[in-house]
Structure 1
Amino acid sequence: MNSLYKSNIYQKYRGLLISLIDVCIVFFAYIVAFLIQNNFLISGRVITLTKILGLGLFFLLALHFMVLRLFKTQMSLWTYTGPNEIIRTFFSCLVCFLIMSYFVLKVGLFNIELIALAELLCFVFLLGARMLYRLARRYIMDLERVENCLIIGAGNGGYLLMNEIYHNMAYPYNVVGFLDDFKKKGTMLSGKPVLGTISEVKKVCEEYNIRCIFITISSVSSERKQEILDLCTSTSVPTKIMRILVGNDASNHISFEDIDIKDLLNRPSIDLKIDEIGSYLTNKVVCVTGAGGSIGSELCRQIVHFNPSKLIMVDINENALYMLKQEFLVMKRKHQMNDSIQLESLIISIREREEIYKLMKSYKPDVVYHAAAHKHVPLMEDRPTEAIRNNIFGTKNVIDACCDCGISRFIMISTDKAVNPTNVMGATKRMTEMYMQSRNTNGKIHMAAVRFGNVLGSNGSVIPIFKEQIKNGGPVTVTHRDIKRYFMTIPEAAQLVLQAGFYANEREIFVLDMGKPVKIWNLADKMIRLAGLVPGRDIEIQEIGLRPGEKMFEELTLEMEKCHKTDNNLIFVHEKMNIDSNEVDAKLDELKRLMAQTDDKTYIKEVLMNMIQE
C-alpha cells in the first residue's frame, strides 16, 4: 500500500482519481435514492435509458465533479478526515442541490424530493467512504502495534500526540492510556482512559507492560517537571519528551525526543541581555583561541549570531578547525548566517609567541576569547611540564600580545578546579588567573576570566564516556560513590561567557552559577535508566577509586559566597586583586628554569602548588 502512495502516477493523478471516485459515489447515491423513492422497483417497472435521461445523468455527474473540485474535496487526506472535510462536503452537496433544483423546475426531468434525498445520500456516502477508509487504515496499522505506550498528560498535548501516533507509523505504539494529576481516573480521551496520577507511573508501567513513555506536559513549574522526569526515569522505560521549537518564520514545531541527561539537571533558565552582548560584538573583529574545542566552537557558533565583521578561529587541531569552518559555510549557503561575516581559520599554537603577536598585529581583533588549554586532569598529572608550557606560558603569550597590541577586550576561560587546586591542571589555571590580575593595563584593555565547572557533552567529559560504556554493555565506572560535580551544557556555558564579557572591566574573575552539584553515581544510574536498562541487573556501576589529583567536591559554591552578583543572577564576580607583577613574573621564570633542569613530575607539581598559595 505504501509503495502505491509513493508511486509517481499516484502522486501526479491523485486528485483526479479521488474526483472520479467521488463521482461514482454520487452516481451510486442517486441510484439508491431512486430505488428508495420507487420502493426498490417492487412494481416491476423497467427503467428505460432515454437520451434525455442520459443527458440528465451526465449533467448531474459533471456538476458534482466540478463543484466537488471547486470545494477541493479531492485535496483532503482521507486518513485525517475531520470537521473541515465535513463542512466542505456539506456545502458542495448543498450547492449541487440548489443548482439541480433550479434545473428541475425548468426541465422537470427529476423531482425535488428525489434531488433532496439523493444529495443527502451523497453527503452521507462521501463522508462514509472517507471514514471507512480511515477506520480500515487504522485497523491495518494497529495490527502492527505490538508495543504499549503511556502518555503523561491528558491535555491538548496528549490529544495531539495520540492522533499523531495512530496516523504515523513512525510511532508504532498502542496507547494504553494517560496519566494526569487533574483528570479523574477513568475519564476517556479519544477512547483511551486516564489510568491514574503521574505518581503511579511505575505501577502502571509494570501492570500494562509499557515499552515507551511520552511526556506531553509543558505548562508546569520547573520543580514539578523535574519530579515528573525523575519518576519516569526511575521506571527504566525509554521516555520521550515533547519539545516546542520556534522556527525562523515564528511557526512552532512540536517534536518528541528522548529525555537527555541535561533535562534531569534542573538548570535555571538563562536570561541573556542580547543588546549588551551585541554592543561589543556586532561589527567587531572577534578572535577565539581553541576554536576547535567544545567551548571554543560553541563560542564561535554563538558569536556569529551577533554579526561580527570578522571571526578569527585559532587552533592547533586542523581537523576540528576545518570542520567548524565548513559548518559555517553551510550555514551561509542556507542563509542561516550573515553572508558578510568574514571567516578566518588559522592553525597556530598559543605556545608560538611570535605567531600570536603576528596574529594580533595583523588582524587587530577588538575582542579575544581565550579558550585554548589542556583540560584533562589525569593526563596533566602525568605531564605537568606539558600543562605548564601550554596552559601557563601559552596563555601568557596571548595576554602579553593583547596588552601590547592594543586589544580592547580579553576574556579567558578558567575552571572551578582553579579554586584551592589539588591537581596540576587546576593549578595552571589559577596561575594564569594570577598572571592576568597582575598586569598593569591602566584601563586600556577590559580583561576578565570566567570560571565554571564540568560541561555536559564536551570532548572527554563523563557523559560521552558513560554513553560509550552503556553502549558496550558496561560496566559504567565511577571513581567514588560520593563524588559530586557541577554541570552545565555547552551552549549555556558559552552564552554566559558572552554575557560576562560585557561586564569585564579590569581583571575581574567571574564565577558562573552551576546550580546544584550532581552526584556522579546518581548520574550514571539515570543514564543507564534512560537507555531503558536497569542498573545492577542489566549494567553494573563499578567504583574504581579517585584518580590522581581528583577532588571529591568542587568548591564553586564557596567561591560564590565571596563574590557579589552582577545584573545577571547566574553570574557572580570577584573584584580585581592587587597582585604584584614582579612577583608573578619571578615565579614564571623559576618555573621555566625548573622545567629545563628536571622532569620530576612530583617535584614540579609541588613547586607549582607552592607558587599559587595566596
Structure 2
Amino acid sequence: MIKNYFTYYSQKFASKWLVFGIDLAIVLATFFLAYFIRFNFTLDFEIERLLVQVPLLLCITSISFLIVGSFKSVIRHTGFTDVVNVFKAVILMTFLTTLVVLANTITNTIPNFTIPKSIIVVHALFSFVALSGCRLLFKIGYNNLKSKLTDSRNVMIYGAGDSGIITYNALMNNTKTNYVTQFFIDDDIKKRGKLINGIKILPLNDIDESFVKNNSIDEIIVASQSIDTNNIISLVDNLIDFNVKIKKVPPIEDWINGEFNSNQIKQFQIEDLLGRPPISIDNPNLLNEFNGETVLVTGAAGSIGSELVKQLSNFNLKKLILVDQAESALYDVQQDLKRSGKYNYAAIVADIRDGLRIDTIFQIHKPTMVFHAAAYKHVPLMEKSPYEAIKINVNGTKLLADTASRYNVKKFVFVSTDKAVNPTSVMGATKRMAEMYISCLQKESKTKFITTRFGNVLGSNGSVIPLFKKQIENGSNLTLTHKDITRYFMTIPEASQLVLEAGTMGKGGEIFIFDMGESVKIYDLAKNMIKLSGLRYPEDIDIKITGLRPGEKLYEELLANGENTLSTYHKKILISKTRELDYTKVKAEIEELCITNRFQNNNIVMKMKSLIPEYKSNNSEYEKFDTRVKVYKKAKGIIENNSKDSKVFKSVQ
C-alpha cells in the first residue's frame, strides 16, 4: 500500500507557489536567527523595529525570487544549476536590501528604519545555506525513501565524460526505477581513482566476475560513443554470462528533441558487436551529384533498395523512380515516403526481365541515374534453379544495362556481392557474370557502369540475424551450417551509404569493394545473440550444426584470384583490378547463355563454369562438372585447331 502511494505521488510535483511560500518562510526564519546570533544569542533587540523590517524584507525577497525564478525548480531533482539559482536570488536580495537601507539613510523616508550591515551579511549567508540545504536534504530523503519503496538496480556507467554525467543525472531522475550508480568505468588513465559525485572511477581491467558478484551489479551502461568496440565485445563476452545486462546510450542525434532520459537507454544489438567502428560517409559532393537528377532504383522494396530510396529521398532529386515486382513491399516503401512528406517519386510494379516494360519506363520517366539492386540472392534456392538465377541476375541485369545504355543514362550502379568472388555457388556465379557483362558494355557505351561489392548485410531479408532472432523468440535451438564459418558484415545504412559514395566517385568500369573490417565468426555471433537476449548458452538455447548447404562457402572473399586493389579518397572504399576479359567473346557467350532452355540446368552450369574459370562448386551436385569443364575446354581447343576432331568434342558434350 505504502509503495503504491509513493509511486503515485512521486509522479506528481509540488506547486511552485508552495515552494515560493516555503522559501519566504525560510528567509524570514534566518532573518530572526541572524538577529539572535548578532545579539549574542539573546532577544535583547527592538522587536518593534524588527516588525517594520520584516514586511519590507519579504517584499524585497519576493521580487528577487520572482526575477530569478529559483522557486520553479523540481526540488527532488535539485542539481548544481538549482543551487546556482538560489545563490543568484540571495545575492539579488542582499543587493536590493542594502540599496534600500542606504537610500533610506540618505532620504529618511522610513523614520528609524535601518538594518545593521552585519545582519545583512549574516542573513545572506544563512539564507543561502538554509535554502540550498533544505533542497538537498529533501532530495536525499526522497532518494532514500525511493530506494526502499521502489525497485532498485545497481549500475555502472562506462564513460566518465560529459555523456557519462548526463547519463548519471538521467538515471537519478527516473521515477519508476531506483538506479544506484556504484562506479564509473573509463579508459582514461588520468581519471582513474577520481570521484564524480562521490562515485569512484575505475579502469575496465578491474571489472571481472568476482567484482560484479561482490558489488551485485545488475547493469553496465555504455555512455560514451567513442569507446573502442573491442572493449565492448570483451565486456559482453566476459560478463554477460553473469546476469549482467549490457546497455548503451544512443548517439546525441538520436535523442528525443535533443534531450536525454533513461527511457532511451537500449539493449546492445548484435550490430554493435561487429568488431569495428561504424562506417560513416560525410561527403558534401553527394548533394551536387544528385541535385536535379532523375534516379531509378530497381529492387526498391528490398533491404538495400529500400534504404537507397530512403537516403536518396533526402537529396534534391528531380524525381525518384521505384521499381520492384513485390507489390506489397513496394507499397510499404511508398507509404514511408508519404509519411516523410516526400512526393517527387513514382512507384512502379515491374519485372526487370520484361524488356519492353523496362524500355517504356525509361521512355516515360527518362532516368539519368540507375541503381540496380534487384536480384535473387538465396544461395541454396538458386543452386536448385540455375535457370531462374540466370534469368534475373544475368538476363535482368543485361536488359536493364542495355536499356540504360540506349537511353544514354549518366551512371549505372550495380549492387553485387562478395559471393561473386571465386564463386562456389550458382548465385555467386550469376552475379559475377552480371559484373562481366556490364564491364563488356562499358567498352561500347557512353553510360558509366559501376559495380559495388560487399558482404552480408545485417538485418536484410533472409540474412542470418533475422533467422537467429526468430529462433530465439520461438525458444528453439539456433541452426548453423558450420562451426568455423565466417562472414563479413555491415549494416543496411552502411551498405547503402557506400553504394551512393561509390556511385559518386565512379568514372566507369570500376568494381568497388568495401573494407568491412575483420570477418565475423558466425558461431560467436550466435552465442552473443543468445546472451544479449538474456538467455544462457547452452542451458536455455543451444546451437545445432547442420552442415554446409549446397554452394555455401566456409569463408567469403572480397578479391578473386589475380585481383588486387587501388585506393580511393575514402579509406573504406577500394577499386578491384580484375583480370582482362575478351570483351567481344564474353559478351557473346553471356548473351547466348541468357536464351538457354530453362530445363537444361546441367548445360547452364557447364557454360557458366566455362565462362568463369574460378567458379568451383562446393557441396553441390555440380561439383562433378569442375573436372569435365577442363576436358571440355581442352577438347574445344582441339576442335578450333583441327575441325576433323569433332568426334572428341561430341563425346565430351
TM-score normalised by structure 2 residue count: 0.81
- Counterpart Cα distance in 2 of 1:272 and 1:39: 72
Alignment check: 8 A CA contact 1:453 1:488 kept: yes
How far off is 1:436 after superposition?
A: 1.5
How far off is 1:368 after superposition?
A: 0.3
- Counterpart Cα distance in 2 of 1:277 and 1:437: 24
- Counterpart Cα distance in 2 of 1:135 and 1:100: 37
Give 2:268's aligned amino acid.
Answer: I
How far off is 1:61 after superposition?
A: 1.9
The yes-or-no answer on 1:592 pairing with 2:591 is: no
Give 2:504's aligned amino acid.
Answer: F
How far off is 1:110 after superposition?
A: 5.8
Alignment counterpart, residue 155 of structure 2, candidates 127, 143, 149? 149
SS at match of 2:352: coil
Alignment counterpart, residue 307 of structure 1, candidates 316, 322, 332? 316
How far off is 1:562 after superposition?
A: 2.4
Moved more, 491-500 or 102-111: 102-111
Q: Deviations over 1:183-235 (max 9, x none)?
A: 68765432223455435333322332322112244556x4xx41343234331
- Counterpart Cα distance in 1 of 2:448 and 2:584: 18
Moved more, 454-463 or 392-401: 392-401
How far off is 1:489 after superposition?
A: 1.4
Alignment check: 8 A CA contact 2:452 2:513 kept: yes
CA RMSD in angstroms comes to: 3.4
Alignment counterpart, residue 216 of structure 2, candidates 187, 206, 209? 209
In structure 2, what is the equivalent of residue 28 of structure 1? 29
Alignment check: 8 A CA contact 1:415 1:451 kept: yes
Alignment check: 8 A CA contact 2:57 2:97 kept: no
- Counterpart Cα distance in 2 of 1:219 and 1:560: 38
- Counterpart Cα distance in 1 of 2:567 and 2:46: 96
SS at match of 1:507: coil
Alignment check: 8 A CA contact 1:67 1:95 kept: no
- Counterpart Cα distance in 2 of 1:529 and 1:416: 29
Q: Deviations over 1:9-39 (max 9, x none)?
A: x69xx44333222222223333444555677
Give 2:298's aligned amino acid.
Answer: T
Alignment counterpart, residue 65 of structure 1, candidates 56, 62, 87? 62
Alignment counterpart, residue 316 of structure 1, candidates 325, 350, 357? 325
Alignment check: 8 A CA contact 1:466 1:524 kept: yes
The alignment-based identity, stated in percent, is 34
How far off is 1:298 after superposition?
A: 1.3
In structure 2, what is the equivalent of residue 101 of structure 1? 101
Question: Unpaired segments of 5 or more residues in structure 1?
Answer: 333-338
In structure 1, what is the equivalent of residue 292 of structure 2? 283
SS at match of 2:345: strand
How far off is 1:537 after superposition?
A: 2.8
In structure 2, what is the equivalent of residue 382 of structure 1? 384
- Counterpart Cα distance in 1 of 2:515 and 2:142: 53
- Counterpart Cα distance in 1 of 2:561 and 2:58: 83
Q: Deviations over 1:249-307 (max 9, x none)?
A: 99797964433323322335646462443343111111111111111111122223332
What does residue range 87-98 of structure 1 map to in structure 2 within 5 Å? 87-98=87-98
How far off is 1:410 after superposition?
A: 0.6
Give 2:29's aligned amino acid.
Answer: F
What does residue range 440-451 of structure 1 map to in structure 2 within 5 Å? 442-451=444-453
Q: Deviations over 1:498-539 (max 9, x none)?
A: 122133333332222222111111111222232333322332
Alignment counterpart, residue 184 of structure 2, candidates 178, 181, 188? 178
In structure 2, what is the equivalent of residue 551 of structure 1? 553
How far off is 1:41 after superposition?
A: 7.1
Give 2:230's aligned amino acid.
Answer: Q
Moved more, 177-186 or 409-418: 177-186
In structure 2, what is the equivalent of residue 136 of structure 1? 141
SS at match of 2:595: helix
In structure 2, what is the equivalent of residue 262 of structure 1? 271
Give 1:165's aligned amino acid.
Answer: L
What does residue range 142-541 of structure 1 map to in structure 2 within 5 Å? 142-143=147-148, 144-169=150-175, 172-181=178-187, 182=189, 187-194=194-201, 197-198=204-205, 200-218=207-225, 222=228, 225-236=229-240, 237-246=244-253, 256-267=265-276, 270=279, 272=281, 274-332=283-341, 342-439=344-441, 442-541=444-543
Alignment check: 8 A CA contact 1:27 1:61 kept: yes
SS at match of 2:534: coil
How far off is 1:461 after superposition?
A: 0.9
Moved more, 280-289 or 121-130: 121-130
SS at match of 1:563: strand
The yes-or-no answer on 1:18 pairing with 2:8 is: no
In structure 1, what is the equivalent of residue 84 of structure 2? 84
Count of matched residue pairs: 593
SS at match of 1:235: helix
- Counterpart Cα distance in 2 of 1:180 and 1:245: 19
In structure 1, what is the equivalent of residue 612 of structure 2? 612
SS at match of 2:220: strand
SS at match of 1:108: coil
- Counterpart Cα distance in 1 of 2:542 and 2:38: 77
CA distance 1:84–1:441, shift in 2 (3 Å): same
Give 1:594's aligned amino acid.
Answer: N
Moved more, 535-544 or 545-554: 535-544
In structure 1, what is the equivalent of residue 643 of structure 2? none
How far off is 1:575 after superposition?
A: 4.9
Q: Deviations over 1:146-167 (max 9, x none)?
A: 3222223444444443333222
- Counterpart Cα distance in 2 of 1:463 and 1:555: 20
SS at match of 1:90: helix
SS at match of 2:408: coil
Give 2:595's aligned amino acid.
Answer: K
Q: Deviations over 1:461-515 (max 9, x none)?
A: 1112222222333412211001111111111211111122133333332222222
CA distance 1:605–1:441, shift in 2 (3 Å): closer
- Counterpart Cα distance in 1 of 2:119 and 2:249: 52
Alignment check: 8 A CA contact 1:271 1:568 kept: no
How far off is 1:440 after superposition?
A: 5.9
